[in-house]
Amino acid sequence: MGGPTNRKSRKSTVVNSPELRGLLVFLASERGLAENSLLAYRRDLEDLERFLALRGRGLLSADVDDYRAYLQGQSRLGQSTRTVTRRLAAIRVFLRYQQTIGHDTSAILEQLDRPKPERSLPMVLSKAQVLLLINTPDPMSPLFFRDVAILEMLYAAGLRASELCDLTLRNLNLSVECVRVMGKGMKERIVPIGQAAVESMERYLAECRPRLDRRGSDRVFLSRTGRPLERIALWMLVEKIVRKSGLLAHVSPHVFRHCFATHLLGGGADLRVVQELLGHSDVATTQIYTHVDQSRLKAIHEKFHPRG
């Protein structure tokens, strides 16, 4: 039983292309690559060889248009950006190896573009789902007013978890309904908050926080023991509220920030304004939320339109 299987396995590792065989020998002997890495290079480049053969080309006779056509075809076939990037890396390794043995492949290397990495769309809840979470904390809990204020502030101001935990009393200005936030890179921004967040903060500051503050802390949000609320405790609190709500989704504090941005843009807010409110240094970072809203609208159209 063992003999035939082993012979079949050895036969499957035979590399017919002399160009590819030379590369694999080089990578094994000079670079010391592991067998799995060599196998990955071989599979990617053999896939390329099959494509080039249909165009009447080989690894050495292909030009930059052939390589580009291959990579573009991979994307059209539904290969992930990670796979396309890996196959581009294999092509680059092959072309650089050819340079070491006297073939001039510099022009092709310079013209091959690296695929842009995929950016997954952030998770966003509907307005009704956000309201459900805000209404979930137990009114009988001694931390009820604090928990509601936390959720309201996350949604009203689009704060990062660290920004909410670091928020100090002197950075609150409830009379003008705004909060001063110290973001990444110590970049300061002023963010307006709505009436619902103001009212929840006023209740928390008047009826809950004085009982928690046993140390004279300047932090707005305190733990049950009176210490400043930490990020891990905030994450655990949000997870607890999500479980209690019955919402079948993994919701972190950062999801409220995604909801803040997406709902603003969906309501007609200017992209540059949302960029400032979020504290993004580059508007390109904010633009992902326009894709989220378009994706949501498309999904609604497909679900409810009679010709969807």
Active site (catalytic) residues: 160, 184, 254, 257, 280, 289
- Residue 135 CA, chain-centre distance (Å), reads 28
Find out whether 59 and 65 touch, Cβ atoms under 8 Å. no
161 φ/ψ angles, rounded to the nearest 5 degrees? -55, -45
Contacts of 238 (CB under 8 A, 6+ apart): 151, 251, 252, 253
210-218 LR contacts (CB < 8 Å, sep 24+): 211/142, 212/146, 218/168, 218/169, 218/170
Three-state DSSP class for 286?
Answer: helix
Find out whether 204 and 149 touch, Cβ atoms under 8 Å. yes
CA 308/CA 306 separation, integer angstroms: 6
168-172 LR contacts (CB < 8 Å, sep 24+): 168/218, 168/219, 168/220, 169/218, 169/219, 169/220, 170/218, 171/220, 172/201, 172/220
CA 220/CA 238 separation, integer angstroms: 17
Exposed (0-12), middle (13-18) or buried (19+): which is 45, by Cβ within 10 Å? buried
CB atoms within 10 A of CB 155: 25
- Dihedral sign from CA coordinates of 78, 80, 83, 87: positive
Tokens standing for residue 253: 């504090």
Amino acid found at 171: N
